[in-house]
Structures are given as structure tokens and as C-alpha cells.
């Protein structure tokens, strides 16, 4: 299949958590936020899951570095449990929502409201990330940044639909909460192996940023 180059970008605790069990997720220092926005400026699309949009209400735009354009915002939501007042739906740039055709039929009013706002809602017969990636590629999207959440990242890793994982390690331990990859897990020998390409101490002096590439 033809698909975009996919970069997972996240900040995690030392025990691999995106958020605490209460949902607290403010882990990034100011330099890490600049790294995040710089990568946004270099990709064609930024992708998140529906749960991340509901919890964080992000803009997913480039604001901390100079950029010629903003990436297309992509939301994957099988349930379409989304408020039309979320910030990704009321401010430019373009937003695409991918969902299952059954959810689109059940929430026809929401679909019409989003489309009236200029949001493109793509209803797929049997929503899969493979179909999402193929559709994005057909639209000219060649590089995608995935910012979460844990279930979306797990699905991409499980299906082999990623190329890089860029992580910033925050000097924090939650002990429980949302993992970077939130799913049923691999059996030990089946877990994918990644190659460390580079790492550096963050300018804040407290965090480490590392870039891994998928092997094989």
C-alpha cells in the first residue's frame, strides 16, 4: 500500500505515561513545545484520536515557530463523539475527520453541522487506519505527525503504520495512567524493535529527547 511517512511525537514520563490516572498531562517544557511546533511546521498533517481532542481541545496549529502554512488536522474517531464547538472545528486550517459509516449515519446531524463549518468528514465502510493512511496519501499527504492518544499510537504500532517515534522523557513518574501505547500488548518476542537514531539533553537541562526508527 502507498501511505505517508508517519512520525509519532510525544512527551512521556520515565515510566512511559502520557497522562496520570486523573488525566494530568502537562509534561512539556517550553523547549519541548517549540520542538513540537517545529515538527508540525514540517509535516503535511497532524493526527490525533477522538479521545485526545475531547480531553485536551487542542488547536493543532503552528504558533511557536515561523511557518509558511499549517498542517491539515486529522481526527480519527470511530464513535464520532465530538462536540462541534471544539477548537479544531472553529479555527483554520483545514480539518478532516475520519469515522465509520455507521457512526456517520447515527450522527447525521453532527456530520452536517461539521461540514457546514468547512470540516471534511470522511465516512469509511469499516474504519481502519490502513484506509485512513491510504486516503491521506491520495490527497497528497506525504508526512504525518501523530500526537496521540495512547490507543491511536498503539493501533499504529500494532499495524506497522509508523516510521519514527520521537519521545521527550520528562523527569516524572506517575505509576499509573495512560501509556504511550495503550492496548492489549505484544507477546514479548513479537514486540517490534526500534533503532535509536539520536538523542540529546533538552535545553532545559531536565529532559531528554530521543528519535527512534522502526527496524525492518
- Per the listing, cell 449515519 goes with 105
Strand 208-214 and strand 164-170: the pairing is antiparallel
**pLDDT tens column, 157-193:** 999 999 999 999 999 999 999 999 999 999 888 999 9
CA geometry: angle 70, 72, 77, nearest 5 deg: 140
Whether the Cβ atoms of residue 209 and residue 35 lie closer than 8 Å to each other: yes
The reported pTM is 0.96
pLDDT at 30 over 90: yes
- Looking at residue 92, what is its pLDDT? 87
- Looking at residue 157, what is its pLDDT? 98
In the chain, what are the domains?
10-214 (3.40.430.10)
**Beta-carbon contacts of residue 87 (< 8 Å; ≥ 6 apart):** 57, 58, 59
CA 172 to CA 12: how far, in whole Å? 8
How sure is the predictor about 120, in pLDDT bands with cuts at 50, 70 and 90? very high
- Per the listing, cell 502507498 goes with 2
**pLDDT tens column, 39-90:** 999 999 999 999 999 999 999 999 999 999 999 999 999 999 999 999 999 9
Amino acid at each position: 500500500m502507498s501511505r505517508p511517512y508517519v512520525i509519532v511525537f510525544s512527551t512521556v514520563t520515565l515510566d512511559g505515561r502520557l497522562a496520570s490516572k486523573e488525566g494530568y498531562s502537562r509534561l512539556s517544557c517550553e523547549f519541548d513545545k517549540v520542538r513540537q511546533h517545529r515538527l508540525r511546521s514540517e509535516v503535511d498533517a497532524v493526527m490525533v484520536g477522538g479521545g485526545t481532542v475531547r480531553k485536551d481541545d487542542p488547536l493543532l496549529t503552528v504558533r511557536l515557530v515561523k511557518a509558511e502554512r499549517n498542517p491539515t488536522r486529522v481526527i480519527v474517531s470511530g464513535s464520532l463523539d465530538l462536540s462541534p464547538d471544539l477548537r479544531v472545528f472553529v479555527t483554520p486550517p483545514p480539518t478532516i475527520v475520519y469515522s465509520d459509516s455507521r457512526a456517520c449515519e447515527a450522527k447525521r446531524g453532527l456530520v452536517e453541522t461539521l461540514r457546514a463549518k468547512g470540516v471534511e468528514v470522511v465516512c469509511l465502510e469499516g474504519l481502519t487506519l490502513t484506509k485512513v493512511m491510504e486516503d491521506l496519501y491520495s490527497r497528497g499527504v506525504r508526512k504525518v505527525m501523530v500526537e496521540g492518544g495512547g490507543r491511536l499510537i498503539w493501533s499504529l504500532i500494532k499495524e506497522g503504520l509508523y516510521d519514527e517515534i520521537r519521545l521527550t522523557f520528562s523527569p516524572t513518574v506517575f505509576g499509573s495512567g495512560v501509556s504511550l501505547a495503550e492496548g492489549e500488548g505484544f507477546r514479548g518476542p513479537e514486540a517490534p524493535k526500534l533503532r535509536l537514531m539520536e538523542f540529546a539533553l533538552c535545553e532545559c537541562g531536565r529532559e531528554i529527547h530521543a528519535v527512534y526508527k522502526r527496524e525492518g
